Structure 1
Amino acid sequence: MEKPFKRILVIKMRFHGDMLLTTPVISTLKRNYPEAAIDMLLYKDTMPILSENPEIHALYGVSNKGASATEKLQNFVSLIKALRRNEYDLIVNLTDQWIVALLVRLLKAPVKISQNYAHRQSGFWKKSFTHLAPFDGKHAVERNLSVLYPLGITDFCRDTAMSYAPEHWERMRKELDALGVGEHYVVIQPTARQLFKCWDNDKFSQVIDALQARGYEVVLTSGPGADDLECINEIASGCERKPVIGLAGKTRFPELGALIDHAMLFIGVDSAPGHIAAAVKTPIICLFGATDHIFWRPWSDNIIQFWAGNYQAMPARSELDRNKKYLSVIPAADVIAATEKLLPASFIPLTSSASL
């Protein structure tokens, strides 16, 4: 399909990590249609993670969490008005929410492509698009890129992207200096949105002790919620010497991207910061429990991944207990051994107390 597309809309309404796994689609479209302005429709609360991406012309946010039915309706109407003014000639849909079919029908793009979702086979859905692309690939990145097959594209970009401005790193470096952190630091984000994705706090403390004994400084990060900060404080309190917790809950996504980009190693669970680390090419140790560790793993070759299923059988998705820490079966000693593989030889051990 040879088309000189000039205005493209990509639709993806999922969580923060999913948005980064969509960036190869944006990059591939920009590579093949360099003159095109590429817009993205996504949830409002996920906009910050893509806010600095230079390949995206504009972001349009859909109201979701906390919005009333009236607010959602008003948001939908205003979005339709704004999107119609843009006169798209290509729409690429990567979302299975039913409302997308209605939205796409209200836009007059000549080419409308969607992935062919098995649970969206109604005539209304299928006739809302000009092309339905079959799924292909074992990983989310590959699956997302398969939506572009109807375009006949052969030149694909397969790297994820996390962008930030120079001032974001300048602020982080200033904060690190104030907290007494040098260049040889490791970022650990132990928190996730759901408990079944979390590891034991005392095991994180053991890993931190091992890293700091080798001379590495450890910076703990998290979201700003009370539960996240409680987790950070408990882990820090369990360490022989407290790691740096002064940035926990205080970094916006572009700043977190800058912080992780300059780290020597990132350690985390199945959450968005792991995908940030993959996008900025920082070495990764990630821990997965009762989730698809192949489909959702950080898209990186410089990674050691632990899956709880290698230690104990994991339940089927339908039997998942969301209040159980399935990662508990992963020993701290195994993760410590992984840090020794990914990090250079020890530095001179730190003697000063870590900043809070």
Structure 2
Amino acid sequence: MNRILVVCTRQIGDVLLTTPLVRAARRRWPQAQVDVLGFSGTLGMLRGNADIHELIEMPARPGLSGLYAFARRLWRRYDLALVTLPSDRAHLIAWIAARQRSGVLPEHGGSNWWKRLLLDHAVVGTGDEGSRHAVQEKLELLAPWVERPETPAVSAPAGAPLPADLQAALRERPVVVHVPSMWPYKQWAPEKYAQVVRTLLDRGHQVVLTGGPGARDRECIGPVRSIAAAPALLDASGRLDFNQLVTLLQRASLYIGPDTSVSHLAAAAGTPTLAIFGPTNPQRWAPWPGRPGEQPVHFQRRALEQSVGNVTLLQAELPCVPCSKAGCEDHRQSRSDCLIAITPERVTEAALRMLGEKASPGSAPARG
């Protein structure tokens, strides 16, 4: 295998979780060129990754002319394609690009019959309800060539210098808080984040807010941004690329955030990570610890609080948790009662414990 293509046409967090697969392929074939293909705007967390030769960006909706141009560019350019998700388009790209193909299939799918015909090796995915983490599932794509991969680690991108004014205002070991989620059904209320941040500030911790430049992120951060002035509370949202974000995270004493790509990045960077989960199944999508060690990584499907490596994960005490749906109404704009049930007191207590402190007397968290 001299040229290998990893196909991951999904969101940013999913792309980051392909890095153990990329690393395993490079170790199996040290001389090989490994490229990664993904949608435009999703590959930023892979920039500077020493295991990757080229990042190939593809528009999410390229149209017929765009698909034809990609087909001409990629036609049988690779010896092996690794398809990390079961989508029709990803499998067609792999067939165009490579002579041999290994790919993920859904457990039940109407298009499985023709995808199996295109694959030399198939991995049957367990879906969001499954007990196998996405990192482990992706590594199974190499089963015909790699007998026993070592305990995988997700590779965070290399750090980059912070903006000069942020660097000057930053104290030692700040707490990084990421309020926004891409979709409302994964969003813990900004007002609850505000309560947690107030306590951290009262305890003397500097808090740095992160997020993107978009309108939704700005709206979510608004109730928290106004709590205090710099340098106690710094707003870095919209100012940092992923490489700069890694630098910030590696300086942090703690990261607090939701089920989102930045939480995966914090865990990969080795930062103590407190993740607030709602309907998502942690066995499948928990942030992968940055220092997994020799023991297999395994998250429980349901637990009020669980810790693996540098990751601590909180869930609600509701019988439906996790439902693996897009909230209670099963659409992206839905509410999630399991997130509503998680109190600021619970998150604050867990955060202070991770910081080596105790909660104030009389502030025992409500269960949920």
- TM-score, normalized by length of structure 2? 0.82
Map of 2:6 onto structure 1:
10
Matched, 1:286 2:275: yes
- State the distance in 1 between where 2:233 and 2:207 align: 6
Does structure 2 conserve the Cα–Cα contact (< 8 Å) formed by 1:176 and 1:182?
no
Mean Cα deviation higher: 154-163 or 71-80: 71-80
Matches within 5 A, 1:136-147: 138-147=132-141
* Alignment root-mean-square deviation, CA: 2.3
Counterpart in the other structure of 2:73: 82
Kindly tell me the number of residue pairs found equivalent between the two proteins. 328
1:264 paired to 2:250? no
CA deviations over 1:179-226 (Å, ceiling 9, x no partner): x22112011111011111111222211111111122210001111111
Identity %: 28
Asked if structure 1 preserves the Cα contact closer than 8 Å seen for 2:185 and 2:327, the reply is no
- Residue number in structure 1 paired with 2:311: 303
In structure 1, list runs of 5 or more residues that go unmatched.
347-356
Return the alpha-carbon distance in structure 2 between the equivalents of residues 133 and 96 of structure 1: 10
Q: How does 1:248-259 map to 2 (within 5 A)?
A: 248-259=237-248
Q: Would you say 1:96 and 2:92 are equivalent positions?
A: no
1:80-229 to 2 correspondences below 5 Å: 80-84=71-75, 87-109=77-99, 111-118=100-107, 119=109, 121-135=111-125, 138-156=132-150, 158-165=152-159, 168=160, 170-172=161-163, 174-178=164-168, 180-229=169-218
**Cα distance in 1, alignment partners of residues 110 and 51 from structure 2:** 30
Secondary structure at the counterpart of residue 235 of structure 2: coil
Higher mean alpha-carbon deviation, 315-324 vs 261-270, is at 315-324
Decide whether aligned partners of structure 1 residues 128 and 338 sit closer, same or farther in structure 2, where only a CA change above 3 A counts. same
Secondary structure of the equivalent of 2:118? coil
> 1:80, CA displacement in angstroms?
2.2
Aligned-partner residue type, residue 141 of structure 1: V
What is the distance in 2 between the residues matched to 1:265 and 1:318? 28
2:353 counterpart of 1:337: no
- Call closer, same or farther: CA 1:49–1:318 in 2, change over 3 Å: closer
Distance 1:302 1:15 in 2: 23
Equivalent in the alignment of 1:351: none
Verify the 8 A CA contact 1:126 1:132 in the aligned structure 2.
Answer: yes
Q: In the alignment, is the contact (CA less than 8 A) between 1:189 and 1:221 conserved in 2?
A: yes
Determine which structure has greater relative contact order: mean sequence separation of CA pairs < 8 Å that are 6+ residues apart, divided by chain length.
1
Unmatched 5+ stretches in structure 2? 290-308, 359-368
Name whichever of 139-148 and 265-274 sits farther off. 139-148
Give 3-state SS (helix, strand or coil) of 1:150's partner. Answer: coil
Contact 2:78 2:98 in 1 (8 A): yes
TM-score for both structures, normalised by structure 1: 0.85
2:335 is aligned, of 324, 327, 340, to 324
Deviation at 1:345, TM superposition (A): 5.2
